[in-house]
Structure 1
């Protein structure tokens, strides 16, 4: 597209593999409140659910923030909508592009459709089929790449340059973090007396850092990750960004990222308690128990915070059930767990 605009943060190098985040400022509580105002009426205010029998299993009171009931099935819609609704008209007009294994993809696709702009989503070929299908159903153009063989950054950079698309990062962008933080505003407003911990399913840290800013000192925010992908927990111990050896192959695809973000990690380092690590088997058990006692459907990556609440000791807590976009076969596997 010969007259495509200059894209903020996109390198002039035709082989560029990454963008420098155009919005590298950590959001404030006021930024989160403004994001909440922009998404009001389109994003859902999700409930805090409690089941006394589930409390008995956990040995403490547990409230579940049901973001699996959010529009597009996960919290990612909040950040996508907050970001796209805040773009300048010239940024928005040409359309947007995102990288995602599924939940961010669907959030961006639907938020773009609500603003009547095109969206292109670069997805790994092995993403859950239901997430690829629904991303297309929301109106996005899906471009598949093979993990380990193709560089998604190069693919996305070419598309953005050719079409003038604006990148919507999954977590390491202040606008996106502010949008995810709206979930924390609701938690802070609805949190029952006696709750001390907020347990958050954590990948790159956008949701965790946004909630930590929004909740403030009202509770301790604890990131929760699956075994083998505990980069945030290890980073909080070492004080510097640690990386995972791999970023694919686990059941918890929604939260498998190579490392915490440059924006998100400093927030978590200051505002969060120690990370918690659970097994895939525990995530599957949490999915089954969420269905049996709360009648909600979770995906493995969206169930790790509940798994920590159920199978680790601690005070009364809120567990963020961050998403429910699960393939039927995986959900059947969860229902079959002991």
Structure 2
């Protein structure tokens, strides 16, 4: 029987080994890798928004492989039905009883590819799974496996055939990230790796799923000082009455920002959160939860500037004798 990895190694060192594995297939994208792992360590779900072909699917597959989890991919299309992802009850001709056949949601790691190409009705079918870790079919609830993480990709809304994700669903993604195009030198190196057949299948799992759950538990136990909690709520509440925002950050956003900050602290080898953890993740956690008023859009405002104003206006708590590492 394998000894749980946390019994003989520190969480930060384990996460660093995962990052090194992921860098083999996501060249030059360390910051993106780190933030993706933060989302997973915080027990959340991740939204990747970018142009096709920049590596969104590759990142999801590599994360699942490194975490030792099975991955199922759901290709979201306009004709995808809710039952196609949750499962369906079918009549057994031998027993004359209905039996539940699980949909692809019943796995530890889900890739919902091009989520905004499917209809709002099917998008809503993900909500219960994302929040409650269960699905309901014909009035019966079925618990999803643990760990359970969903990575959704979406194309920019100016692409044809897309449906905007509802605010309630956006609020359930702990982070939204954009991978971006690689630097020229990294893209050339990527071509060399492809020619040398360095595939995702060559990645070695660093942890087992049950060990990953222990890491998530370690992250949730990272200490958050009362002053940092006040700081987090100050940031989110500053968006709620902003004249250029139609909707501000919800209390769920405050919780998401705290959990993400805890995960970052764990990744950096600390047992406590500092304000820099919060600042480093404020945009990634809050931006997709905010929506501009039509007047602000026409005037050229953007969410990044508004969040920058919030960070500047909310007093940073003073925490003596702590490292910003």
- TM-score (norm: length of structure 2): 0.30
- TM-score (norm: length of structure 1): 0.29
Q: Name the larger-Rg structure.
A: 2
